Amino acid sequence: ALCVGWIDGRLSARDVVTFRRRFTPRTPRSAWSARNVALIERLVAEGRVHPAGEAAVELARADGRWTAAYAGQASMSVPDDLLALLHDHPTAAAAFEAMSRSERYSVLYRLARLTTPEGRERRLTLLLHSLQGDSPT
């Protein structure tokens, strides 16, 4: 899919033996994962990427999405500003630690995708209130 500028979606079980995977064209604003960045670099080196795939890569490089690639669930770490917030609010820290791995990743992914300091501050404030049980996120 990456070779032609498309992206694959999540697997969904069709039955006990088979599954489905959705493939869609990459949109001009779609985020790149660090895993896909590394994979496409290898595919380019192997000469397997078609012109449409090269165009998707060039567009991502030109508009900054390439360097803003997000880490996957296994490698995403808690940013310093969130660590400081949790350190100062033990109730919120306990609630964050009680989250499932996928819930924590959802929080970290949303923080990583923010582009302005103001947006990040708003998200951290909402997260703090949510973790303390004050309001929903």
Q: What is the pLDDT of residues 71-111, one digit of tens each?
A: 888 889 999 999 999 999 999 999 999 999 999 999 999 99
Say whether pLDDT at 39 is over 60.
yes
- Give the H or E element holding residue 86: helix 80-88
> Domain-by-domain residue ranges, the chain?
2-63, 80-131
pLDDT given at position 136:
53
What value does the mean pLDDT take over residues 108-115? 91
Q: How confident is the model at residue 135 (pLDDT cuts 50, 70, 90)?
A: low
Are 10 and 16 a contacting pair, CB within 8 Å? Answer: no
Report the amino acid identity of residue 113. Answer: R
